[in-house]
Structure 1
Amino acid sequence: MSSDTLAFGEWDVTFTDGASISSIKERREYTDILLTNLSSSFTNAQLQTEIARFGSASVMRDSRRKRARVRFLDAGVAAAAMIEMDNKRLGLSRVEATLDRSKDTHWIEDGLLLEYDRCQTAAVVSFVNAEEANVALNFNRSMFQGRRLRVTREDETSVLVEELPAIFDPDDLVGFFMAHTVSVTRDYAGDDEETNFLLQSLIREQPGCAHLTLTPLGTGFEEGAAWIRMANDERAADVSREIRGLRPIFLHGNIVQAQRSQAVVWKLVKDQYAAVKSLVENAQFEGVYLIHFAGASETVEIRAISADSRKLRVAKPAMDTIVKGEIWQTDEAPLWDRNWVTEVGRGVIDEVNRVSAAYVYADLAERTIRIAGQDEARECAKVMLQTHLDALDAQRHRIKLPAEIMEYFVEHGMHQLADTLARFDSTIGRSTDIEFRGTDIARQKLYTVIDQCSAEVKIRSVSTPRPTCPVCTTEVVEPLTLFCGHSYCSECLVHLVTSALDFPIECITQDCRHTLSLRSIERIISPLQYRRLLETSFRMYLRGHETLHECPNPDCTQLWTASESEVTRLTQCLGCLARICTRCRVEEHNGMSCEEFQRSKALHRSERLLATWRAERGNDVKACPNCGALSEKIDGCPHIHCPNCKRHWCWECSRSLPRAELVYAHIRRRHNWAAERFLAPLNM
C-alpha cells in the first residue's frame, strides 16, 4: 500500500491507494503551557496540586527564573488550563500563562494597543481689544472638551491657553472664547525611554495588571504607542476597562487610548531574516504597526499589530509574501523536483542560501520551492537552482526491457516521445536497454509509454478477443492494464482518474472492486493533475466531515474546526484572519442572528441568477433525482455522477443507481446506447 502527504493550510493530510484519505493531523497541537512570574513562596507541592486539577501532567520548574513548563497529554486540556491559570494569584504574585510556541513559525496573539499623544498642546487666543482679553482670563480652570484649561495673560490683546486636548478643532476654541484668531502650538514632551518606563509603571499599578509587559512601538515624533500581549480576547477586554481613560501627568494630561487588538507573528531563522530585513523595514500598511526583535534559539519574531481587523487582513497576505517568499513557478505550475528533499538537493539549497542574499526553502508537503529576499537576490537564487536542475536533466538513466516489449517500443512508442517532448532525448543501446535523459515529466511520460507497450504486447500474446474498455465500451487503444488485469484506453483511464469525485478510485469493470494504487495513479497523470486530484479528494472528504471545514474565503486554503460544544459561535481563520460563524459556516454576519442570515441568504442575488441561468439552458440542465443538485450536460454519454450525493443516474430517464457499471448497463439496454453516442445502436 502506497501513501503520500500534502499540506492544506496548517493540516497534513495523508492519502493512500485510490487517492482516498487515511489520516488528517493538525501541525499545531499545543500540549505545553509556560507559567511566568511564579512566586518563590508558592512551593512545588502547591504547584503540583494546582496543576493536578486539570488532569495528568508533568511540571518542570525553574525557580531561579521564576517560571515553569507544564506538559499535558491533551492539547484541549492544555488550552483550558492556560485560560484558567492566566492572571491567577499563586502565592504572592499573579502568574502569566501562555502556550509554548517554540516550534511554531506563525501564530496570532490577542492584546491591547495603547495609543497616546506625547505633545503638550497650547494656543494663543487673540481678541479685538484688551477688554475682551481681560474677560477671557475668567475662563481659567474652565472645562473644554473634557480638559480643565489654564488661562494666563500673553499680551494686551491675547491670552495663553494651556492643558488643551491633544486633538481638537481650532474653530471650537474660537467659539468657546468668542475670540478673533487662535494659534495652536504643540511641543514634544519627554524622552522616549522615560515615557515608556513611566507608562509601564502606571499600568502595573492598575488592578490585575501587575505582571503585564509593555512593548513600545515605533511611531511618529509627536505620537506614542505600545503593545501589551494578552492570553485571550476576554482578558484584553478586562484590562482595557482598567486602563482606558488614564491621563498621566508625564503625558501632560493627554488621554491614553486602549483598544483590543491582535498581532500576527512570524518567527524567522537568522538567515531568513537577513534576506527579508530591508523589505520588512520598508513595508508600510495603514493602521498597522510592524515590530521585529530577536527571539529565542537564534530566531527573530516579526509582529504586525492593529486594532482594526480589516486593515490587519489587508497587511497579512503582503507580509506572508515578504516573509515566506514567493513560490518558484512557471505560468502553469510550481517548479518542483523530488531531488530537492534528498541529501544532494538539500546541500544545493544550503549552498544557495550561503552564497546568495536570498533565502530558499523546499516544502515537501506543499511540493513547492519558496524564495524570499530582494528581486535581484531571488533572480540570482533561481539561476543557481536552475543550473542544478539542468545538471539533473543531463544525467543519463537506463531501463532494461524484455526483448518483445523493446521491439514494440522501438516501432510504436518512440514516435510518441519525439512528438510530445522537445527536451526529451533517448538512445537505444543493446537490444533490451533504453538510455534516456530529461526532466521528471519527461521520465514520467517515458514510463507511461512503456506501460502501454507492455500492455499491448500482453494483449497480442493471447488468442482471446481484444478487450473492451469499460469507459468507452470499444476496443482498447494504447492500452494500460491495471493490477487486476482489466485494460483501459490510456486517454479513458486518465479521464476516469482526473474526473473522479468518488474515492477511493476503483476499477469500474463489472464485479471488480480493485483499488488503483497511489503510485500507479501518479504514474499515468501529470504532477499538476495529481495535485489537483488529491485536492479534489480532500474537498469531497470535507463535505461529509462534521467538525472540519474549509475557510469560506475562496482565496484561503486554511481549515477550521467547529466547536463541539457550540458554546462559542465565532472562530478565527489563521490563514486570512476572517472571523467565521461556526453555525452558518460563513464569514461573520454582524448585526444579524443566524436565523435572520439564513432567511436573507435564500433571497441572495446568486439564487436569482441561478434561476435565470437554468431557464436559459432549458433541457440542458437537470436536477439529481436523489438530492436535487443541478447538472449541466454539454456532451457525452447519459451517465451522470452527482458530485453532491455521489449517486449515479441516467440523463435520459433520471433513474438513480448506486454504481457506474449499473448505469452503463441500463443505458445500453433501456436506451439502446453505444459508444458512438447513439449513432450505432446495439442489436439486443
Structure 2
Amino acid sequence: MTSTTSCSEKQTKSKILECGACQSEVAADHLGIQCVQGHHFCVDCSQNIVRMFLFEPQSWIPLKCVTCNVALNESVFERQLKPEQIDLYQKNMLAFSWAKQLVKENEELVYCPFCSYAEIRNKDDIHFMYCPHPDCGKRSCLICRGELPNFQENYDYPDNEEEYEIKMITLSKHFKCTELKNEKKLLDDTLEQGQKLPCPNCGLSGMKDEQCTHMICPNCSQQWCYFCGKTLEDCDKETRYGTIYDHNVNWECNPLRCPMYFTQIGDIDDRWPDTEEDCLFLFHRKRSLRLLRNIYEQWGEEKFNALNAHFHSIDSSGFTMDEIKNEDLQLIVYPNFS
C-alpha cells in the first residue's frame, strides 16, 4: 500500500524555518513569536524575549521584532505570557496607551529603530530620524527601519568617490521608501490582519485560541463567529433559540453556516488536518493569501512586484507569488449530497 501525505502536511513540511535567535528549525505553524517581515523565534527564545520586555519595557514598547524592529502583532506576543507575567505586561501597555493619547490628530509617536528613544512628530515630516540619544546617534529611515549612510559635514567632494557613490545610492533608495510608504503600510497591515480577525462591531482584533469559533469581544461584548467574521445578528442561523449555536446547525451542508470547531471540517473535507492548532494555521494561511490576492488584483502585477522588489515584504512573508495568484482559497469543499 502506498502511503499518502495530506495537503496540510505537505504545506507544513515544505516550510521549515529557522529561529532567528538559536538557529534551531521551527515549523511554519510554530507557536513562538513571528513578525510580518518573516522573522521567527522558537517558543524557548520567545520566552526570553518576553523576559527582556519585562526587564526593560521602555525599550520594547511598542512591541517590536528583535531582528527588524517592525511592530509585532500583540496577540502573537501575548500568547507567550505566563499567568504571573500578565499583570506587569498590562500595566506597561496601559502606560504606553496613555502616551499615545497625547498625540494630536496630525501627529504620530515614532521610535528610533535602534534604541528606546521616541518623539512626537508631524505625519507629513520626512520619514528620516537623527536620534539624539547619547548612546545611539544613528540616522534611520522610519519606513524600512534601516540605517541611513553617515555623511561628514563636508562631503561635497570626498576623497573616496566610490564610497560616496554607494552612500548616495543607498540614500536615494530610502527616498523611494517615502514614495512607497502608504503601500508598504497597507501590505504590512494585510500580513498582520491575516493572522487575526477584527470584531465586526468595534474592530478590535484578536486571535482565536484552540477552543470553539464563538467569540465575545472584550471591548464591546459583541458575539461573533471567528470562521466567517459575522456578528450574531448578521450570521445565518437556525430559528431555534436565537443564540450563536444556531449558526452551527447543519453547517456540513449549508455554506452559510460555520462549524463550531475547526477540527470538524476534516469530517467532510480531507484537506483539513486533525488538530485544532494545525487547523488554525491552515485557516490563517488561507486568510492571509486571500487578503494578499485582493491587494494584488487591486494594484496589478507591476506595482505589486515593484513594492516587493524594494522592501522584500512578500519574499520574507513565507508566501510565494504563485501561491498568492493561484492557490485554491476555498475554505470548505462540500461533498455532493444526493
Question: Which bracket does the TM-score occupy, shorter chain normalised?
Answer: under 0.3
Higher strand content, 1 or 2: 1
TM-score by length of 2: 0.27
Between the two structures, name the one with larger relative contact order (CA 8 Å, sep ≥ 6). 2
TM-score by length of 1: 0.16
